[in-house]
Amino acid sequence: MFKVNDNYLKLPGSYLFSTIGKKVSAYSAAHPEAKIIRLGIGDVTQPLAPAIIEALHSAVDEMGKAETFHGYAPDLGYEFLRNAIAEQDYKARGCEISADEIFVSDGAKCDCGNIQEIFSLDNRIAVCDPVYPVYVDSNVMAGRTGTYDSGTETWSDVIYMPCTADNGFAPELPSKTPDLIYLCFPNNPTGAAIGKAQLQEWVDYANKVGAVILYDAAYEAYISEPDVPHSIYECEGARTCAIEFRSFSKNAGFTGVRLGFTVIPKELKAGDVSLHALWARRHGTKYNGAPYIVQKAGAAVYTEAGREQLKKQVAYYMNNARYIYEGLKEAGYTVSGGVNAPYIWLKAPNGMTSWEFFDYLLEKVNVVGTPGSGFGPSGETYFRLTAFGTYENTVEAVDRIKNMKL
């Protein structure tokens, strides 16, 4: 008789955004007249920029002619894209990353979830609390997290690094020594960012204790303050301790197109074993590459026209962020984030729990957000709103919240 991977049975509930989706669908079915505004999942709403559309059309045409047709993509991704990434995301910022250290994929979520496969099961992970659920859940599935305590909503073998108002939503170095440290800055869900000196401390720490930092930089395009690093490789020593994940979802609206990449420097080793070689082996075995037309669209992000158009798109969302931040502050809410990230993190009013506030907002004003407790115990009583809505919906949602009776 076959057996299932019973680590899956340990997962409490369904994936956060699936739970929210189901709740909203049920509400919508019961109240078909409600005009629901969704500021829950961080999904973009603006159409792809013209430079990207043009690149997609022309790549589709190439696929229709024998002489320009493309089959399987190269394992690590097409050079035209990896060279553009190496030049513009790294060299231009003074980071020493070469094109052959970049692995193109269909998105950062998959890479963040899959990367744990190349590490031993007895590695101890450390995560921020609250945290993007993929980091923890993918380790639960692998059997690396011990037992779940439903009272505290924590796993026995995970090191939690609370990110609270007291520490400015930036984690402190953990008291127990981890092997793998997940960091995401600018942060999802709190919208907090850390400066270069703070990130350097993490790099120094990881090199000292022999840990690897798994650095999720999916929101780097939203950084507006000069001291905030766009890449962990801006820090000295990061090449021997850090893997970085990047996404095209948030900077270029590829949530439905799918493209991302992971950087693994060749110096990053466990003894003699190169993590770059292990990930290359995995990538080659389990993945056939992002489609040619999508990689061509990705390359358009780095053209002059693409860069110009996307700067405007990011500014559009950050204008929403400002509107939410200022509107809610004016209404008396305690708010943070929204300066270097498209997420606003707010305290639920009147002592409500995160889910109580979720239900309250949905029922009273038909606005959907994400309950902070869904990201971890330190997220309890907090709530996340995304700036990725349309401007019109954002304004309407904020006005509804401001006029809502508490």
Nearest to ligand MLT of 63, 110 (CB atom): 110
Residue 159, Ramachandran bin (φ over 0: left; ψ between -120 and 50: alpha; else beta) = beta
Nearest to ligand MLT of 109, 230 (CB atom): 109
Minimal distance, residue 307 CB to ligand MLT, in Å? 22
Distance CA 88, CA 205 (A): 28
Q: With contacts defined by CB under 6 A, name the span among 38-46, 170-178, 224-232, 308-316 that binds ligand MLT.
A: 38-46
Distance CA 400, CA 324 (A): 11
Minimal distance, residue 145 CB to ligand MLT, in Å? 20
Secondary structure (DSSP) of 283-322: HHHH---S-HHHHHHHHHTTSHHHHHHHHHHHHHHHHHHH
Nearest to ligand MLT of 103, 245 (CB atom): 245
Tokens describing residue 41: 């999942």
Q: What is the DSSP letter of 195?
A: -
Please report whether residue 320 would count as binding ligand MLT according to CB under 6 A: no
Distance CA 100, CA 348 (A): 46
Nearest to ligand MLT of 42, 327 (CB atom): 42
Nearest to ligand MLT of 37, 211 (CB atom): 37
Minimal distance, residue 68 CB to ligand MLT, in Å? 33
Minimal distance, residue 20 CB to ligand MLT, in Å? 9
Nearest to ligand MLT of 245, 292 (CB atom): 245
Residue whose C-beta lies closest to ligand MLT: 42
Q: Is 354 helix (H, G, I), strand (E, B) or coil?
A: helix
Q: Is 335 helix (H, G, I), strand (E, B) or coil?
A: strand
Secondary structure (DSSP) of 95-161: ----GGGEEEES-HHHHHHHGGGGS-TTPPEEEEES--HHHHHHHHHHT-S--EETTTTEETTEEEE
Nearest to ligand MLT of 20, 300 (CB atom): 20
Distance CA 263, CA 103 (A): 6
Nearest to ligand MLT of 159, 385 (CB atom): 385
Q: With contacts defined by CB under 6 A, name the span among 41-49, 85-93, 167-175, 302-310 that binds ligand MLT.
A: 41-49
Q: With contacts defined by CB under 6 A, name the span among 35-43, 46-54, 221-229, 390-398 that binds ligand MLT.
A: 35-43
Minimal distance, residue 18 CB to ligand MLT, in Å? 11
Which of 109, 124, 276, 296 touches ligand MLT by CB under 6 A?
109
Nearest to ligand MLT of 46, 177 (CB atom): 46
The amino acid occupying position 142 is A
Which of 20, 38, 39, 42 touches ligand MLT by CB under 6 A?
42
How many residues touch ligand MLT under the rule CB under 6 A: the total is 6
Strands 343-347 and 382-386: antiparallel
Q: With contacts defined by CB under 6 A, name the span among 26-34, 36-44, 58-66, 256-264 that binds ligand MLT.
A: 36-44
Minimal distance, residue 112 CB to ligand MLT, in Å? 9
Nearest to ligand MLT of 43, 62 (CB atom): 43
CA distances from 34 to 116, 364, 368 (A): 42, 10, 12
Which of 41, 63, 99, 404 touches ligand MLT by CB under 6 A?
41
Q: With contacts defined by CB under 6 A, name the span among 40-48, 168-176, 270-278, 390-398 that binds ligand MLT.
A: 40-48
Q: In terms of C-beta density within 10 A (0-12 exposed, 13-18 middle, 19 or more buried), how is residue 129 classed?
A: buried
Q: Is 184 helix (H, G, I), strand (E, B) or coil?
A: strand
Contacts 24+ apart (CB under 8 A), 80-89: 80/295, 80/296, 80/299, 81/295, 81/298, 81/299, 82/261, 84/299, 84/302, 85/246, 85/261, 85/302, 87/302, 88/302, 89/230, 89/231, 89/246
Nearest to ligand MLT of 188, 373 (CB atom): 188
Distance CA 399, CA 245 (A): 36
Tokens describing residue 10: 């340990």
Q: What is the CA radius of gyration of the chain?
A: 21
Site string for ligand MLT, 157-196 (x = CB under 6 A): -------------------------------x--------
- Give the residues lining the site for ligand MLT (CB under 6 A): 41-43, 109, 132, 188
